[in-house]
Amino acid sequence: MTLTAAAASATDVLAPDAGAPARLRFEHVRKEFTVRGDRRRAPSTLVAVDDLSLDVAAGELVTVVGPSGCGKSTLLDLVAGLSTPTSGRILVDGREVTGPGLDRGIVFQQYALLPWRSAQRNVELGLEARGLPAPERRRVAREKLELVGLAGFEDRYPHELSGGMKQRVAIARALAFDPEVLLMDEPFAALDAQTREQLQDELLRIWRATGKTIVFITHGIEEAVYLGQRVVVLSGRPGRVRTVIDVDLPRGDELAGTDLRTDPRFVAHRHTVWEALHAPAGTPERTGGAA
């Protein structure tokens, strides 16, 4: 599929669904940073994300792929409410994001676990802030640790866990307060290839089990195609939506015992994303749906 064809089909996908508001909506989001000057340079403005519009439906797993420095983490911080757009807005279920909230759970690339707390107590963290009584906290934390495949590891401390296990704890913690949206910023990037593939399958299982809306950021083309129902390809900085690619691949039981990554359809999607990422600057860019 050519880039133009992909962009054309993306338009249909992004057309706002009559009556069904997007779970997550980006409306012409722009984020600027002021870069401090020094003796030689005056202060300047860096545009990290520009005119980015996108709709994500409830229960969708969308991957966002783009070159390093194109504004992916900036975008995630904006959805998380850790920073605010310079212009444009982000809506969750029609409500504008103005700060962090329990409707959004975040998993960062670095495990961000508290080293002095056990796996169980790390997962309980968000629940404490919410004022849940101790027995209820313990029950929820155990349930989420079981969901991510860590039953039996509740009392381990982060230094006693492998990288993959730490990231499972981080996912359990993000799911603990049952957020509508799960935001993931290159969560598997620091893991070895085999562990990464294992966690990708775990994430797909968790997604199917929970029905969460997931926005998964990555710089890996294969990872984007493997996980995403749609792959949003960002341009180089400032990050804009260059194209959105629909991924239709066998999933779940259909897949049993096969290596999806060698399936000709997988290979074709990977190539489409590669082409979109490598399209020369100046290729007409498009912005998605929420006009």
Ligand X SMILES: Nc1ncnc2c1ncn2[C@@H]1O[C@H](COP(=O)(O)OP(=O)(O)O)[C@@H](O)[C@H]1O
Q: Which listed option, ligand X, Mg ion, none, makes contact with residue 46 (CB within 5 to 8 Å by class)?
A: ligand X
The neighbour count for residue 117, using CB atoms within 10 Å, is 15
45 near ligand X, rule: CB under 6 A: no
Angle, CA of 276, 278 and 281, to the nearest 5°: 95
Contact 283, 270 (CB under 8 A): no
Q: Does 83 participate in binding Mg ion (rule CB under 5 A)?
A: no
Please classify residue 78 by burial: count the beta carbons closer than 10 Å to its beta carbon, then call 0-12 exposed, 13-18 middle and 19+ buried.
buried
Shortest distance (Å) from residue 33 CB to ligand X:
3
Residue 72 in contact with ligand X, rule: CB under 6 A: yes
84 binds ligand X (CB under 6 A): no
Q: What is the CA radius of gyration of the chain?
A: 19
Q: How far is the CB of 35 from ligand X (least distance, A)?
A: 6
- Asked if residue 195 binds Mg ion (CB under 5 A), the reply is no
One-letter amino acid of 258: T
Q: Which residue is nearest to Mg ion (CB)?
A: 73
Alpha carbon distance 107, 181 (integer Å): 11
CB closer to ligand X, 35 vs 114: 35
Residue 107 · residue 183 · CB < 8 Å: yes
Instruction: Report helix, strand or coil for 229.
Output: coil
Smaller CB separation from Mg ion, 74 or 272: 74
Q: Which long-range contacts (CB under 8 A, 24 or more apart) does 206-211 make?
A: 206/147, 206/148, 206/171, 206/175, 207/61, 208/252, 209/147, 210/147, 210/175, 211/59
Q: Which of 25, 196, 237, 269 binds ligand X (CB under 6 A)?
A: 237
User: Which of the ranges 2-10, 65-73, 248-256, 271-279 carries the binding residues for Mg ion, by CB under 5 A?
Assistant: 65-73
Q: Are 99 and 134 in contact (CB under 8 A)?
A: no
Min separation Cβ 48 and Mg ion, Å: 10
Nearer to Mg ion, 73 or 195 (CB): 73
Asked if the peptide bond before residue 280 counts as cis, ω within 30 degrees of 0, the response is no
CB atoms within 10 A of CB 145: 25
Give min distance, CB of 66 to ligand X, in A.
6
Q: Is 211 within 8 Å of 222 (Cβ atoms)? A: no
Provide the 10 A C-beta neighbour count for residue 4: 12
Q: Which of 55, 71, 173, 227 binds ligand X (CB under 6 A)?
A: 71
Q: Tell me the closest approach of the beta carbon of residue 238 to Mg ion, in angstroms.
A: 14
CA gap 265, 269 in Å, rounded: 6
Rounded least distance, CB 241 to ligand X, Å: 14
Query: Which span sits near ligand X by CB under 6 A: 71-79, 96-104, 172-180, 204-212?
Result: 71-79
Quick one: 165 or 217, whose CB is closer to Mg ion? 217
Determine if 73 is a binding residue for Mg ion (CB under 5 A).
yes
Q: Within positions 51 to 70, which residues make up the interface with ligand X, using CB under 6 A?
A: 66, 68-70
Nearer to ligand X, 53 or 74 (CB): 74
Where along the sequence are the contacts to Mg ion (CB under 5 A)? Answer: 72-73
